Amino acid sequence: MVPKLSHGDYTVAWICPLQIEQIAALHMLDEEHEILSQPPQDHNTYILGCINGHNVVIAGLTAAGNVSAATVATQMRNTFTSLRFALLVGIGGGVPTRTASGSIRLGDLVVSKPQGEHSGVVQYDRGKAEHDGVFVRIGSLAPPPKLLLSVAQTFEIRRQLARTDPLQESLQRIDVSRPRLRKYRYPGRKEDRLYPPSYKHENPSLDCAKCGCSSDQLIQRQRSDDDDDDEDDSEEEDEDEIRIHRGNIASGEAVMKDGHLRDKYAAEHNILCFEMEAAGVLDDFPCLVIRGISDYSDSHKTSRWQGYAAAVAASYARQLFFYLPKHAVAQEPKMAAIEKIDDKIERLIHMNMEKESKETQHKIDSWLDAPDPSVNLKSACDKREIGTCSWLIENPEFRSWGAASGSFLGLFRWVSCQLTELEGCTSNYQVFETLESLPMDLNGVYARILSRIDARSCEVVLLILQWVLYSARPLLFSEVAEIATIEFDKQNKLRRNADKVIWPDHILHVCSSLVTRQSSSHKGDEGEEEHEDELKLAHHTVKAFLISWCFSPALRQTFSRSFSHQWIAKSCIVYLLGTDIPEKMTGDYLEAYPLAIYAAEHWAYHYRQSAIMNKDNFDGNSLLGHGFWESNSLDVGERRAETWPIAKFSEIFVGRIQYSEAKGDSLVQLFMRFFDSSRHVVGSLCLYHPDWPELGTCNNFSSHPVPSSLYLASLLGLFEPVEALLRQSSDYRHVCEGRYGSALAAAAYQGWSNIIKVLLIYHGNTALLNSSDGQLGSAISAAALSGHDDIISLLHQKGADVNTEGGDFGFALQAAAVGRHLSTVKLLLHFGADPKAYGGNFYSALHAAANRDDREITRCLLDHGADPNIALGRYGSAVGMAAARNQMQALRLLVEEGHGSVNVQGGKYGNPLQTAVAHGHEEASRFLLEHGANVYARGGFYGDVITAAKESSRSNMQIVRLVEEYMTRGQHSNNEDGPR
């Protein structure tokens, strides 16, 4: 009895375009299952069965080509919702080239595998025609699932070890002695005919023998030519051996019948085989492509090898199921789940747009708000003429008024500090005595606090104040406890001493009235509320006092911006070098080294800040001479700052740092020492990876290649290390590394123009300038996404091509549109960027502008010739993209001013109206209908608009009623597509 399962029991799709391939596939099943019902919109015909316990759905195509394949894959996925991936199995045209397995011959197999910059399948006929007629676009698709790549590798190994060929065993399942199956027989090596590319087949309706193709033109090839190491094997012994070649497969809409064109694409993109369906399937399925070679992709095509090639491909597909663990298949995501992921990505894009909107609103609010008075004061002081208004300042009445009003500045803080002093009094006498000696202003209060710090606590206080003043974020108590562990050894070299961890309670004790504890809360890894204590300055006047008041020269230097950042950067690097970093980051490590995450994440920030001289954000000097800063109560004769223990310690501290710099502990040298330790670099990247900051602490990087020191220094904006590394190794060669592909692209994305300049001095060759290996493509594309016009101009001046293709956004112009940088878009167009180029995640620059609802960029691109009606990608035209996102500004501009058609066919949903309806956008749907969208247009994922309105999970009754209203009116733009 034929078993009957449910739709959810089938996990693997087997797609074979031709009937000859479907028959071969049917012979590979262990067992055939009863056919199941299908939804009305699914017009496929399926064969159900199992192989080695895996339930398989076999489907054919009604017509060849990527469009037909995409339709079948989409309908199949919706009917069988538990499918994990697909095998695309059939015949293909080979490229007569040599691989690691030998020369590609008729009857061999080519299996997709990522090679070079391609994913295993290359859409070779997707591109753009330039002004000189050259077609330059090469598109690639998603790679096969890692599970299938691993299974394919395992099968190759097992096949080499087997006594008999498992492929031959599977081939025997087809009884070629039966008349109707004789086409699957092995034709014999004598029928393997290869002609030079220039030798054309004159009559396509006749085979080579009847057409008169000369045998003298045949290229002589023998298997023995491929076996240099096996001289004893004769041609007869292995003439029917099936060789498996793994690499790139080219997929296009037309049959490849030109030997010259075949060899051109093969040479440029390392292509082994040509076919017509993979690109369509891969748009909806993770897929492994398996092709038996039945011809050489030239004009001498023959059907003689098709049956055998189809049988070989089916045999290979069958064998994979014997190395495919069922539990591993179950763990792969379902196709329906992937569709949900697409939806989540769309929602994330919306969230990102909302975030950008909030940021824009914040900028507007900041612009409208009154400016910080200290900014205006500093600006006025910089512009003033000496002596201006001195008559007013010297006026006795004004001075009397100023003294009274200025005394209120910091008054409450002063009172708070005085009460702290009085708390220790035990009698009225002590109270009166203390009141007599209290400083009359905050300057005196803070000076008294510092002067009373004993010698044993000077180091701790100085370091705590330094870190709290300049930390990149508020420090946790557990982190502050670690900052004193960085010390000088007997050789005056920096090291970490774990015994010097500060007791948390001692922190507030030694820095009383200068710092305070504040509780902060945040979401934990599992969403629960977590509370931690942070250490902050007790009052904003503490910072002003520390960085502006003239202590001894050593104290002034110790609390300066550049010196403090330099010390903190050194401390972070030395701290990481002094920790025992494990191969995998654990909670035990983070508990043992609380400062590790901060050190890994922020050492580069402090490094950069140390190079910025005299640019403190808060200029305390601007407040000098205003009320509480006047040190009337401080007896300078009795309490000179130089006599304070902390001032004396500061002199020693500064001296030791200067000495250690001379002895090899400069920041550049510490950087070099750190990056010479691969273990510490890998551990640091697991704590915080500057390439992937959004991932936080993550172990996934421990098994990845570590980017070079030059790449990381360029990414982090560390000019001196970059210069030192380039001087050290001037023969640096570009290799693809890191998220951005090259040091140049990383620096371009971050906007480090000084690093760009020095990189170009040492390595300004065209290959590096136009390299597009990274996530964002070329350096110009990376700069365009961030809107760094100065860097784009510099790179273009040095010879970079603004139309270099690569990366997530295809071209620099699309990246600029994604980043919403109008000036960058205009600059790129001025430099010759092609507004009609397409590729990348957003398909074209105009699609990206529509996605972002950027009216000005959309208008600019249209003015420069961008085509609003070209159908690309998931949503078809730019009008469809705007409709999918409900981006009304872009939609109105495209349709009302940009000549964008509301009825362009293309994309997953067929047309803009079905796209808007399926996404639940009533406003966009109404606009399209009002502007002539055909409510009866057929095609797309749902077949027609009314089905989309009723079945889409995002639609609603208002949209259903809107569509039905227009259907009732009979308003449509194309009468031939009207009601039937």
DSSP string, 341-358: HHHHHHHHHHHHHHHHHH
Predicted local distance difference test score (pLDDT) of residue 191:
84
Predicted local distance difference test score (pLDDT) of residue 236:
39
pLDDT tops 60 at residue 145: yes
Q: How confident is the model at residue 371 (pLDDT cuts 50, 70, 90)?
A: low
Mean confidence (pLDDT) of the chain: 79
Predicted local distance difference test score (pLDDT) of residue 28:
96
Beta bridge partners of 47: 58
CATH homologous superfamily for the domain 868-980? Ankyrin repeat-containing domain (1.25.40.20)
Q: Can you say whether residue 358 is alpha, beta or left, with left for phi > 0 and alpha for psi between -120 and 50 degrees?
A: alpha
Please give the C-alpha separations between residue 441 and each of 602, 621, 740, in angstroms, as whole numbers: 36, 16, 54
Residue 532, SS3? strand
Q: How confident is the model at residue 563 (pLDDT cuts 50, 70, 90)?
A: confident
Q: Which helix (H) or strand (E) holds 292?
A: strand 287-295
Q: 28-47 pLDDT, tens per residue?
A: 999 999 999 988 878 888 99
Residue 163, SS3? coil
Q: How far apart are CA 558 and CA 883, in angstroms?
A: 59
pLDDT tops 60 at residue 658: yes
pLDDT tops 70 at residue 751: yes
Of 87-91, 277-281, 557-561, 894-898, least confident by mean pLDDT is 277-281
Of 308-322, 452-466, 878-892, least confident by mean pLDDT is 452-466
pLDDT tops 80 at residue 478: yes
pLDDT tops 90 at residue 91: yes
Predicted local distance difference test score (pLDDT) of residue 928:
96
pLDDT tops 80 at residue 426: no
Q: How confident is the model at residue 733 (pLDDT cuts 50, 70, 90)?
A: low
Which one has a higher pLDDT value, 357 or 286? 286
Give the range with max mean pLDDT: 3-7, 398-402, 431-435, 448-452. Answer: 3-7
Averaged pLDDT for residues 887-896: 95
The single-letter code of the amino acid at 879 is: V
Predicted local distance difference test score (pLDDT) of residue 673:
86
Rg over alpha carbons for the chain, rounded to the nearest Å, is 36
Predicted local distance difference test score (pLDDT) of residue 972:
43
Predicted local distance difference test score (pLDDT) of residue 292:
96
The fraction of the chain above a pLDDT of 70, given in percent, is 74
pLDDT tops 70 at residue 916: yes
Q: How far apart are CA 812 and CA 804, in angstroms?
A: 8
Averaged pLDDT for residues 456-467: 85
For domain 9-219+239-339, the CATH architecture is 3-Layer(aba) Sandwich (3.40)
pLDDT tops 70 at residue 729: yes
Give the range with max mean pLDDT: 72-81, 302-311, 921-930. Answer: 921-930
Q: How many residues does the chain have?
A: 980
pLDDT tops 50 at residue 513: yes
Given the structure tokens 């508020």, which residue do they identify? 474
In this structure, how many other beta carbons lie within 10 angstroms of the beta carbon of residue 347?
10
Predicted local distance difference test score (pLDDT) of residue 27:
95
Of 5-14, 108-117, 363-372, least confident by mean pLDDT is 363-372
In this structure, how many other beta carbons lie within 10 angstroms of the beta carbon of residue 148?
25
Contacts of 630 (CB under 8 A, 6+ apart): 441, 443
Q: Listing from the earlier edge strand, what are the strands of the sheet with 529-537?
A: 475-476, 529-537, 515-523
Q: 812-840 pLDDT, tens per residue?
A: 999 999 999 999 999 999 999 999 998 88
Q: How confident is the model at residue 750 (pLDDT cuts 50, 70, 90)?
A: very high
Q: How far apart are CA 677 and CA 681, in angstroms?
A: 6
Of 139-153, 429-443, 849-863, least confident by mean pLDDT is 429-443
Which one has a higher pLDDT value, 505 or 896? 896
pLDDT tops 70 at residue 351: no
The fraction of the chain above a pLDDT of 90, given in percent, is 33
Per-domain boundaries in the chain: 9-219+239-339, 412-669, 868-980
CA dihedral 304, 307, 309, 310 (to 10 degrees): 150
Predicted local distance difference test score (pLDDT) of residue 443:
61
Pairing of strands 475-476, 529-537: antiparallel
Q: 207-228 pLDDT, tens per residue?
A: 776 676 777 667 776 554 444 4
Averaged pLDDT for residues 68-92: 86
Predicted local distance difference test score (pLDDT) of residue 730:
59
Give the range with max mean pLDDT: 442-451, 661-670, 677-686, 754-763. Answer: 754-763
Q: How confident is the model at residue 232 (pLDDT cuts 50, 70, 90)?
A: very low
Averaged pLDDT for residues 632-637: 36
Asked whether the beta carbons of 593 and 579 are under 8 A apart, the reply is yes
